[in-house]
Amino acid sequence: MESIRRWIGASETRVGMRVLTACLFAVVTAACAQVWFRVWFTPIPVTLQVFAVILSGLVLGSRWGALSQLQYLAMGAMGLRVFAEFKSGPIAFAGPTAGYLIGFVPGAFLAGWVFERLQSRLRIASWCGGIGGIAGIYLFGASWFAAWLAVANRTPIHACIGSAWQLGIVPFIGIDLLKAALASSVALGGSRGRDLIRSLHGPVS
């Protein structure tokens, strides 16, 4: 019985640690959203959010990383000004960037999912996880952006796919790869980073 109680206590500690860390990453994403600038030819701003999304997946793992981003979206939906340019509420979910916001959830999940399955080669795994996270964000972001352009310009959606690619993905690929590299370095930086990852989603080599 004593061993069972110790196991339950350890499990509760791990779950509590993951919940707290997920909340922390929601706050980190909110802070990164306020580091932004605009490029004149696209309505999509450049922010540090992608860095935070990938980092949450790498550190927390697929499910808890996705949960941290759900918490972030919930904060914005409730009216907290946590999105880029201090936006919040329904307006943010109706604009051209709404798909990217939604894409943060699968983006964090994919970053963690890929990393979890390639942990035998830790540095390569974190890079691949970052690329997977970017792909998830782009898929949802560009799809919504194409639909938004179709409504705004009153044109068929298939006619807007090229514009969504050119305005919503191409300008950001290079800088987002740099964010993925930064997230990988932060997640794996030193023994403390590796120990945190081990404690949050299993042993890694």
Q: Residues 160, 99: contact at Cβ < 8 Å?
A: no
Residue 141 lies in a domain: yes
Q: Exposed, middle or buried, 40 (CB in 10 Å: 0-12/13-18/19+)?
A: exposed
d(CA 76, CA 49): 14
Residue 132 lies in a domain: yes
- Residue 49 sits in a domain of what CATH number? 1.10.1760.20
**Predicted model pTM:** 0.87
Q: Specify the pLDDT at position 200.
A: 59
Q: Specify the pLDDT at position 18.
A: 80
Of 92, 66, 65, nearest to 78 by C-alpha is 92
Q: Structurally, how many domains does the chain consist of?
A: 1
Q: Specify the pLDDT at position 195.
A: 58
Q: Specify the pLDDT at position 123.
A: 82
Q: What are phi and psi of 37, to 5 degrees?
A: -155, 160
Q: What is the pLDDT tens value at each position of the chain, 205 positions in all?
A: 444 344 334 444 567 778 888 999 999 999 999 999 998 899 999 999 999 999 999 999 999 999 999 999 999 999 999 999 889 988 899 999 999 999 999 999 999 999 999 876 778 899 999 999 999 999 999 999 999 999 999 999 989 999 999 999 999 999 999 999 999 999 887 545 555 565 555 544 3
Domain with 94, as residue range(s), is 2-199
Residue 205 lies in a domain: no
**Element containing residue 199 per DSSP (H, E):** helix 190-201
Residue 204 lies in a domain: no
Residue 60 lies in a domain: yes
Residue 11 lies in a domain: yes
